[in-house]
Chains A and B, each alone.
Chain A
Amino acid sequence: MSERRLADLLAMWRIRAFEEKVRDLRAEGSIVGSVHLCIGQEAIPVGACDALEPEDALFATYRGHGWAIARGVPVTPLFAELMGRATGVNGGRGGSAYFTAADHGFHGENSIVGAGAPIACGAALAGRFDGSGRAAVTVFGDGAMNQGAVHEAMNFAAAFDLPVVFVCENNGYSELTPIADMVRSDRLAGRAAAYGMPGHRIDGNDAEAVRFHMRDALEVAREGGGPTLLECVTERIAGHYIGDAETYRRPGEMDRIRRREPITRLREGLLADGVPAAEIDAVETRARGEIDTAARTALAAPLADPATVKEHLYA
C-alpha cells in the first residue's frame, strides 16, 4: 500500500518540480508568455491518468502541464516546447497552452475555456466505430462549467451514451473570481443529474480517491453506460497565471491551503504509517534531479527554425 502511495508521491513531485522550475525559468526570461501553473492540483492528474489505458484520449486545458506529465509525455520536450526550442513536443508551435502528444494518448491542451469537452465527445464517438474500446476524458476548471460548449458536450455525450469522463478541477476560482459568486450552487457535480448521468464530488487532493472514481467512471463508460462527471475539489497554490497578484485571496487562505495540499497530506500519511522520513524525502530529491536535468537539456537545444514556420498549416 505504501508502495503505491510512494509512486503517487513521486508522480506528484515530478509535476510540482516541473512547475516550480517553469516558474523560475519564466522569472529569468528563458520562458516567455502566459503560463498557468497547476501547483496544488497534482493529485488529480496523477490519480486519473493511472486509471487510463493507452488507447484512451485525454483533453486538458491550458493548466495542463501536470496532465501531460502524468500521461507519460517526457518532460524534456515539454520544457523545450515552453522555451521555443526545435525539440519541443510541438516544435514550438503549441507553447504552454497547447502541449499535444497523441502518441502518448495526450490529445492536447486548449486555451479556450471548455472547448475540449465537445472534442472529447468526438474522440469517444470515433471509438464506437474503430473498435478501439477508447474512452475519452476531458478536463476543465470550475469556470468552464458556465460555458455553453460544456453544456452541449454533456448533453451530447449523455444522449448518445458516449464513453466520456468529464473531470472538473474545482479549485474555487474561475480565473480570478470565486466560483461561488458565479453560480447559485457551487456543488457542481449536482448538475450531472440534469443530464441523466452520474456526478460525484470528490476530494481532488487525494490521488487514491481520484483513481478510484476514475476507474469506476471508465468502467461504466466502456460498458456502454455513458458519461460521468467527476468534480474534483482542489486548491491552486499559484495564481491564475504567472504574475497574477492574487488580490482575491482572503487572509489566512494560503496557509490553510498549504496545510491540506496533496503532497503535504500524503507525506504526513506516509510518516504516520511509519515510512521513514529519509525515504519520503528521497522521492522529492529524485524528482527534482530529473527535472533539473531535463530543463538543462531543453535549454541547450537549438531554437525552433524560422524557416519552418509555415509548415504544417495544411496537409
Chain B
Amino acid sequence: MPEMSGTGEVRKLSYGEAVNAALHRLMEELPETLVYGEDVGEPGGVFGVTRGLRKQYGDRAFDTPISESAILGSAVGAAMMGRRPIVEIMWADFSLVALDQIVNQAANVRYVSNGRLAAPLTIRTQQGGAPGACAQHSQCLEALFLHVPGLRVCMPSTPQDAYDLLVTAVHSDDPVLVVENRMLYFGAKEEVRVGGAAGPMGGARVRRSGTDATVVTWGAITARVLEAAESLAGEGVDVEVLETPWLNPFDTEAVTAGAARTGRLAVVHEANVTGGFGAEVVARVTESGVPLSAPPLRVGTPDTRMPAAPVLAEALVPDAARIARELRALVRGAS
C-alpha cells in the first residue's frame, strides 16, 4: 500500500516513471496542458515516458510530424493563447534545427510585448552520452540555453527531481527547458513523493557533506561525482557535493556559501569545458570574493567532437576515476 498523506503519496518509481507520473498528474490537474511531439502519442515516446497519456487524455496528447520548428513554434503560439503545452524534443541535439523558436521567439514573448503576452510552455528533452551514441545524439547543450535570458533551465538527475522539477516547470508562467537524460530513465526505482504542491524554482541539493572542497555538479554525471567523492573519503579527502538541478535560476548563494565553508571549488559537468556553465559558476564564486585556498577547478569533456565507438567516447567523458584524481589534486595540491 502506498503511503498517503496530505502532501501526496510515496511510490517506487524509476526516473522515467517519475516523469510519466508527473505528466499524468499535470494533465489531470491543469486542463490547459497539452503533450505533444514526435512519437509521444500512440507510441508513448521512444523511451516510454509519455505512455498512457494518449489513451487517458485523448486529443490533448498527440503525435506530430518530424518538424521541430512547428512543434516549438506552435507551443509558443498555444502558450500565448492560454494553453500550457508540454512539448518533447526527442534529443536535445534536434533542438538546434529550431533554435529560432526557443531563442528568438519563446524567450522574447513576455519582454518585447512589455508583459502583454506570456509563453508558459515547457520543453522536455534529453541529452548526453550513452554507449554507441553518435556525434549528433550525445551533446550536452545546456550552456547554449543558459546564455539566453528569458528561458528557465533545469536538469534533474534523481527520480524525485525528475518529478518535482517538471511539475514546477509546467506550473511556471515562463518558458522552461527541462533537460532529462535517457541513461537515467531506466535506472533503479526509488521512493518518490508524488502529488504534493508544486515547489518553487531554484535551489541546490547537498548530496554529500564534506569539508575539504565544494564540488558543484548537475545532470547524470552527479552519480559519478558521488562515486568519486565516496572513494576519496576512504583516503581522507572529504568533499561536499552540491547538485544544482536548477541552472536558471541558479542558486549562486548556496554555491558561494559552500565554497566559503570549504575554501575550494570544483565544477563537474558532462558538457565540454569551453563556454560550459562551469565557467560561469567559477566566475560567480570568484567575483563574490570568497577566499579560496586553491585555484578553482573545472572538470568536463574535452573540447572535441563525440565519437561513436564506446571505447573512444569513454576516453572523453569524465568517469569517477578521473573526477577523483582531479579532486584529489585540488585538495592535496598537484603531485
Residues of A within 8 A of B (CB): 57, 59, 88-94, 98, 100-103, 107-108, 110, 112, 115, 117-130, 134, 136, 148-149, 152-153, 155-156, 159, 311-315
Contacts and interface: CB of A to CB of B under 8 A. Distances in A.
B172 A315 contact: yes
B309 interface: no
Contact of B77 (A100, A103, A120, A149): A120
B126 to A, nearest CB: 22
Interface string B66-106: 01111011111111111101000000000001101100110
Contacts of A89: 114
8 contacts: A102-B116, A112-B105, A118-B74, A125-B77, A126-B78, A156-B65, A156-B67, A314-B110
Contact of A98 (B79, B82, B112, B149): B112
A134 B80 CA distance: 13
Given A90-B114, A148-B69, A119 B150 contact: no
Contacts of B152: 314
Contacts of B173: 315
Given A315-B118, A315-B172, A93 B111 contact: yes
B149 to A, nearest CB: 6
A130 B59 CA distance: 13
B38 interface: no
B335 interface: no
B115 interface: yes
Contacts of A314: 110, 150, 152, 174
B7 interface: no
Given A119-B76, A121-B74, A122-B73, A100 B105 contact: no
B83 A126 contact: yes
Interface in B28-86: 32, 34, 59-60, 64-65, 67-70, 72-83, 85
Task: Kindly list the 9 A-B residue pairs having the minimum CB-CB distance in the complex, ordered from nearest.
Answer: A118-B73, A122-B77, A122-B74, A122-B78, A126-B81, A119-B77, A315-B173, A152-B70, A152-B67
The interface size bin for chain B is 35 or more
A122 B80 CA distance: 8
A100 B111 CA distance: 11
A115 B75 CA distance: 13
Contacts of A119: 73-74, 76-77, 80, 101, 105
A113 B143 CA distance: 26
A12 to B, nearest CB: 27
A66 B117 CA distance: 21
B5 interface: no
B112 A100 contact: yes
A98 B69 CA distance: 20
Given A112-B104, A122-B80, A156 B114 contact: no
Contacts of B101: 115, 118-119, 149
Contact of A123 (B77, B97, B111): B77
Contacts of A313: 110-111, 149-150
B304 interface: no
Interface string B99-138: 0110011001011111111100000000000000000000
Nearest to B173: A315
A129 B83 contact: yes
Interface in B206-251: none
Contacts of A91: 114
Given A90-B114, A102-B117, A149-B100, A129 B60 contact: yes
Contacts of A98: 108, 112-113
Contact of A121 (B77, B104, B114): B77
Given A117-B73, A124-B77, 17 more contacts: A59-B77, A94-B112, A100-B117, A120-B77, A122-B85, A123-B77, A123-B80, A123-B81, A125-B78, A126-B81, A129-B34, A134-B81, A136-B77, A149-B101, A152-B65, A152-B73, A153-B74
B67 A155 contact: yes
